[in-house]
Structure 1
Amino acid sequence: MELYLIFRALYKKKFWLLLIMVVAMAVAYLLAARYDNLYQSVTKIATGFTVTNQLDPDDRVGGFYETDIKFNNLIENINSPIVVNQVAYRLMIHDLSEKEPFRQPLNSKGEPLLSEKEKLKYLSAFKAKLRNMEMLDLNKEEDKDLFRVLKAYGYSEKSLREAYYVARNGFTDYLTISATTDHPQLSAYIVNTIFEEFARYNNSLNIVQASETVERLDSLLKAKQWAKEQALEEYKQYQHAANLLDVDIEGDAALKQISSLEEKITDEEAKIRRAELALADVEAKIAKLEEEKKGNASSISAGNLSVRRLNQALLMLEQRRKRNPSNQAILDSIVLINTELSRMGVVGGGGLNIAARLEEAYDLRSEYKTQIATSTQTLENLRMRLRAVAGSKSTFAQKGARIKLLQENLDLASKEYEEVLQRYNKVLESKNMMSGIKQVIAGQPAQESQRMKRILITLIAGAGALMLAVMVIFLLEFLDNSMRTPTIFSQQTKIPLLAVLPEISRKNSAEEAVTIAPTVSKEATPPKVVLTSGFSFGSTKANNAHVLQLFRENIRLLRHELDTSGKKVILFTSFRKGDGKTMVIRSLANALVKSGRKVLLLDLNFSDNALTEAYTAKNKIEKILETGSYLASDAQSTYVGPIQVIGCNKSNCSPVETIQLAALQRFIKYCSQLYDYILIESADMAQHSDAMELAPVAERIICIGASYHTLDRTDRANIERLKKPNGIFMGGVLNRVNPENMHL
């Protein structure tokens, strides 16, 4: 639907869009009038930058970046001041010497600017400048004079730069030089002369220097190549003589061997120290045992005799115990003999064990001595191997230093050779650059002026203006958040939509809108129709009968909603001031009257009593509630008989500050017995809280909103407040809708 609204907005503004496009095209056509007298000539130049030589395998085209740099450098050289000045000299020589010059400026008297004598003078000066390829030096008076002549003829550097341009044709190998002037022959002469002067300048300067540089670099390249070959040969000879395959690998192997030998020597020294400590301990133990052996030698024989006797007695007791196991005396004797044998075994056994312990100590001493001797021999062998490897490492280090020095010399010679070779290749490339730059298409005089360009500019301007206008309208419609359609209203408010009322002319009163013929009573005052101000769509046809009929049908739809609700007291409020609340109430009242209902209009909009002013109601609610007498005569009869109106005085006070709600409720209850409907108008919710204060006296609440308003945070908060009081909020009415948006 959004796209539909946008396209419809574009269609409605089609005449404005057409007018903008026509104005833009007219302005562009006038501004481009100069192209009717301009002629363009073009020459194409092949550079050879992107073409390879198929017969030369070493010929390679550089990357995109390198190629782009070449083209940029070439364009800058063509646009260089020296080339532009040479072209200017050629143009002046042509105009001063030819019978049909391109330009012949006049002085203020309409005569030729230069006399014949002056022409010869300047012709000689420009030829000298051209021959010597000199630029003008404005510090010299004669060059200043030449510059003034160039400027008078329109051949100054600035004028020529504005007349031509040089550009690459896309990603091709070609350059295009284009010149546009008021003379077809002049345009062709400029483009051809630019290439000729560029070629002459480049040949006289760059190529000569490149040739001299090639000779110098060629001899230098040969010298560097010889030095590189000598360094390589010396490196290979020494490597072969020293039997070195790889300095780094062999050096790492020698270091690993030395490290392994040092670890083994450390291990053997640790073994020797441990064996020596163990041997010292065994020697001390042997000395101690030998002393014990000498002290116990005298007691060994006596002890052995006593032990034999006790053993014999113990053997006899054991035999007796077997025959008489329960004899306690035998058992006690066995225990005593065992105790004595144990005691004697400690003393005598120690003497018997000393020999065995000494023998064991002697064996350990022999073993440790053997181990020490073996480890000492192994340690000596390892040290000899370490000295040999260390000696070879020293020799290898000297060889490695020598080979590294030779390698560095070789690397330096190779680097110098590569640098000279690169410089040599670049010089050759610059030397041969001009051989690839050729003029493939010479500039020809244009047969027609640039009139088609004027037409093209006009069309582009019209299309651009149209697109810009469309984008602006599209953006405005896209950013429009107003409730301009019923769908948008429902999406933004999320409340039931009771009716959609189209925008009608302010000239139509509420009574005319529902086509009820006025029946004015004798006491009734003619109505004074005063509508609140509001926005009116420019595209709405005010007095269109179809729009009025659409308004009537939707008022009837609202009347039907009231009939089906079964409630009499209806409170009307609005989002903003000017939403058309009074117009809707009056139109609805007339529709109710037309269906045979009796209606009371109660104006409680104290801030803007438009309903009171519309019917010029004399009876005011404040006075009625003060007296407390609720008579039918309190309601003023309007010019439509069944409609009764009670107005209010205009003030800045809210309802609870002006009247008592309890008294108002009693009055409305009384009036409910006399009328079918009581329609109450309250102030808008944007600036007033009247609707919230009057909610207790109403049976239903209806909120009216204008389609051109945008719902903001305050409006959404007010909607939530209306939904709270006992579910009496009935819904909303979308008013002043563009008839074309009624069904969207």
Structure 2
Amino acid sequence: MEIGNFFNLLKKHRTTLIIIPLVAVIASFFLVKNLPDDYQSHAEIATGIIDASRHILDKDATANVQEQQVYREFSNLIAIMKLKKLVDQVSYSLMIHDLTDPYPFRKPSKELLELHSYEKDNVLAILKKKFATLEPLSVYDKTENSVVGLLRSMKYDERNIMKDLVIMRNEDSDFISVSFDSENPQLSAFVVNTLCKQFIDYYTESVKQNESHAVTFLSNLLDTKRKALSDQTGKLQQYKIENGVLNLDEQSKAIFGQIMVYNDKKLQADKDMIANQGAIDAINQKFTPDDRKYVEAVTNKYNQAIISTQEQLHTLEDQYVRSGFNNKYKESIDSLQQQLANQINLTSDKYITNPLIAKDDQIKQKLTLEVSRDLAKYSVKSIENELASLNAKFSRLVPFDAKVKTYDFDIDIAGKEYLDVLNKYNETNLRSSFSIKLIQVEMAQPDVAQPSKKMLLIILSGIGSLFACIFWLFVLFYIDDTIKSPAELVNKTQLPLLGYLNKISGENLDLRKLWDVEHRDKMKTFKELLRSIRFEIDQELRGEKVLAITSIEPAEGKTLLAISLAYSYSMINKRVLLIDGNFNNATISNTAQPQTYLEDYFKSNPLGQQELSSSNTTVLGNRGGDVTLLEIGSEVFVKSRFDDLRSKYDVVIIDTAPLTALNKSKEWLLFANKTIAVFEANKKISNSQKQHIAYLKGLENRFAGWVLNKTDYNQKKEKNS
């Protein structure tokens, strides 16, 4: 239903939907017919960012390049191309060309034509200087600011160039695409090629300068690290020379090995000394004092020789230990030991023993043990002296080792720093020799004109204006809260509907022609709808006769409906009484000029009561004025008169005042069997009218329903659609 209403609205404004797009198309045609043709030039720049053929020496560095990093690099290059300093270079080149070439790209502007020859030479000199130094024009300088004005007048300034300049990455390739649109094919190609050349030169120079600075910095840093490493190595060597240190690790290992050997020999000597002393004590216990005197007296001279040999042996043993057990002392020690053994044997042979006791072997064994004990005793002392000397040497090496390790640590750090810088230097030096170079692989050439967009613009203007009109009508339709169809009236009032009448504005309705020749479709439709309403009213009356017709507001068509119903009932041979109950606007009374007025008929005057004629259609008028029904006659009397009217007529139709007249309308409704209300289409229900709708709801069964008047709604067309 809502969509149908919207299409009805479009049909109603179809003339507007045709005229406005047509005007837009005509206006667009005259606006675009003089537009110049558009020429586009295109160039391609190879960046080498993702081109594997240009990364032969650093394939490993480019193999793991992330897409995000590639995107950032391309974005950086495109941003550099859009720098104002580079676009200014294009502006300077264009202006220099037009000032020096006999065939300029564009017609000279008014400002350029006003310049004298010397002024043009001055402008040309400024532009060439700025172009060579890559500097912008200063707006604070009067002369340079005038040059800026010339560029703007020729549309060679940075803002106008950027409007038609397109710089973008060619999909996911290694190329940057540059294109420019203008009215001159040579101009388009010149702009693209100049921008590409200036960009490549600027970027190449920047990269070379940065790489040169990096290589120089790393070279100086490398010299510094090399010198630091040499200084640390020299300090270590000087320290070793000053302190006589050759190889601390080997020296410490040798001294420690000697200490372990001397410790083992000391343990063995202590063991031998203790064991020999124990054996000697055991033998001494076997001799009596007299025996010992005897033996010692006899062997005294031999003992002196043995003691002398032992002292020599002790001296050699001490030298042998101090020399670190040198083999050259071993032969002398063995010779003295052999001599000592012979002397001991001789002593044993010369012993004069007590005949009562045979102790030759014990004496010999004792002497031997004493010699062994003394040897062990003296060797322990020598070993302890050497151990003390070795420990002192070992302790002296500890501070040397700590200092040397400190120097070694510093040398290690300096060496690592030197190697890191060396690697970076070699890598940077290699990259600077094979750095990525931008190449313009496709030069911009003057091309044919682009396909004309004039017809497209004209069509878009027509379609755009049409959609704008439809959108505007839709907005109006969406915010429109008026009632246009019977269903909307029922939904918003929650009251029943009897029918609707079409709009026949602009014509004087002649009811007699409704039932004669069907000369017009609107009159035919009105008659059919009136018949339908009459049928619905009969169904509601169910034998009752008094019908009141009212409305919420004046001029909604209730009087026309009352007259039409009265005439319709008369056409089916029913006696009809039409009462003009609207004292404020007595339209029926003024038109019909009745013989009887309700002020006389309903007046409580038994002596002078008026009677109505018994014709088929009778009109009971009123004289108007500020009066109400119950002010003319009492309620009981008026009721009795209505009872009399029911006996004389088949249908009594009362045209009441609108509900906004309050009691003037409601007093008539007291005596009606059924009430119908007329609502004019294309109006909305205001908040003030809701109280009257509530009153109609309060009538309950006495309210027959609505009649929607002056509507464009057509139920037949809706069913067909």
Q: Distance in 2 between matches of 1:664 and 1:433?
A: 118
**Where does residue 722 of structure 1 map in the other structure?**
696
Q: Which amino acid aligns with 2:703?
A: F
Q: Distance in 2 between matches of 1:211 and 1:612?
A: 112
Q: Which has the larger radius of gyration?
A: 2
Q: Deviations over 1:537-568 (max 9, x none)?
A: xxxxxx97122112112212222234343111
1:599-610 alignment to 2 at 5 Å? 599-610=576-587
Aligned to 1:590, which of 539, 563, 567?
A: 567
- Answer whether contact 1:547 1:739 (CA < 8 A) is retained: no
- Answer whether contact 2:537 2:704 (CA < 8 A) is retained: no
Aligned to 1:700, which of 674, 677, 692?
A: 674
Offset, 1:592: 0.7
- Answer whether contact 1:686 1:714 (CA < 8 A) is retained: no
**Where does residue 535 of structure 2 map in the other structure?**
560
1:411-490 alignment to 2 at 5 Å? 435=436, 437-448=438-449, 452-490=452-490
Q: Distance in 2 between matches of 1:428 and 1:503?
A: 95
**Where does residue 364 of structure 1 map in the other structure?**
none
**Where does residue 547 of structure 1 map in the other structure?**
522
**Where does residue 507 of structure 1 map in the other structure?**
507
Q: 3-state DSSP class of the match of 2:714?
A: helix
Offset, 1:584: 0.7
Q: Distance in 1 between matches of 2:430 and 2:479?
A: 61
**Where does residue 13 of structure 1 map in the other structure?**
13
Aligned to 1:96, which of 79, 99, 104?
A: 99
**Where does residue 233 of structure 1 map in the other structure?**
none
CA distance 1:471–1:502, shift in 2 (3 Å):
same
**Where does residue 31 of structure 1 map in the other structure?**
31
Deviates more, 1:88-97 or 1:54-63: 54-63
Q: Distance in 1 between matches of 2:213 and 2:178?
A: 31
CA distance 1:204–1:580, shift in 2 (3 Å):
same
CA distance 1:181–1:544, shift in 2 (3 Å):
farther
Offset, 1:131: 2.1
**Where does residue 271 of structure 1 map in the other structure?**
none
Q: TM-score normalized by structure 2?
A: 0.62
Deviates more, 1:434-443 or 1:506-515: 434-443
Q: 3-state DSSP class of the match of 2:137?
A: coil
Gaps of 5+ in 2: 229-413
CA distance 1:86–1:574, shift in 2 (3 Å):
same
CA distance 1:707–1:169, shift in 2 (3 Å):
farther
**Where does residue 202 of structure 2 map in the other structure?**
201
Q: Distance in 1 between matches of 2:216 and 2:51?
A: 27
**Where does residue 242 of structure 1 map in the other structure?**
none
Q: Deviations over 1:670-722 (max 9, x none)?
A: 22222221111222235635444433211111122222122455555534432
Q: 3-state DSSP class of the match of 1:505?
A: coil
Q: Which amino acid aligns with 1:472?
A: W
**Where does residue 321 of structure 1 map in the other structure?**
none
Offset, 1:82: 1.2
CA distance 1:420–1:58, shift in 2 (3 Å):
farther
- Answer whether contact 1:612 1:646 (CA < 8 A) is retained: yes
CA distance 1:475–1:721, shift in 2 (3 Å):
same
**Where does residue 579 of structure 1 map in the other structure?**
556
Q: 3-state DSSP class of the match of 2:678?
A: strand
**Where does residue 622 of structure 2 map in the other structure?**
647
Q: Distance in 2 between matches of 1:711 and 1:666?
A: 37
Q: Distance in 1 between matches of 2:172 and 2:430?
A: 21
**Where does residue 621 of structure 1 map in the other structure?**
598
Q: Distance in 2 between matches of 1:736 and 1:221?
A: 101
CA distance 1:434–1:649, shift in 2 (3 Å):
farther
Q: 3-state DSSP class of the match of 1:473?
A: helix
Q: Which amino acid aligns with 2:196?
A: F
Aligned pair 1:56/2:60, yes or no? yes
Q: Distance in 2 between matches of 1:463 and 1:194?
A: 39
CA distance 1:593–1:155, shift in 2 (3 Å):
same
Gaps of 5+ in 1: 228-412, 518-542
Q: Which amino acid aligns with 1:604?
A: G
Q: Distance in 2 between matches of 1:430 and 1:723?
A: 94
- Answer whether contact 2:573 2:616 (CA < 8 A) is retained: no
CA distance 1:591–1:106, shift in 2 (3 Å):
closer
Q: Distance in 2 between matches of 1:634 and 1:429?
A: 129
Aligned pair 1:80/2:87, yes or no? no
Q: Distance in 1 between matches of 2:609 and 2:502?
A: 36
Q: Which amino acid aligns with 1:545?
A: R
Offset, 1:188: 1.5
Offset, 1:634: 5.5
Q: 3-state DSSP class of the match of 2:562?
A: helix
Q: Distance in 2 between matches of 1:456 and 1:4?
A: 33
- Answer whether contact 2:169 2:175 (CA < 8 A) is retained: yes
- Answer whether contact 2:583 2:622 (CA < 8 A) is retained: no
**Where does residue 41 of structure 2 map in the other structure?**
41
Q: Distance in 1 between matches of 2:693 and 2:429?
A: 85
Q: Distance in 1 between matches of 2:597 and 2:9?
A: 47
Q: Distance in 2 between matches of 1:87 and 1:172?
A: 26
Q: Deviations over 1:194-220 (max 9, x none)?
A: 121122222333541354136536877
Q: Distance in 2 between matches of 1:726 and 1:150?
A: 84
CA distance 1:217–1:458, shift in 2 (3 Å):
farther
Q: Which amino acid aligns with 1:56?
A: D
Offset, 1:435: 3.4
Q: TM-score normalized by structure 1?
A: 0.60
Offset, 1:63: 5.6
**Where does residue 105 of structure 1 map in the other structure?**
108
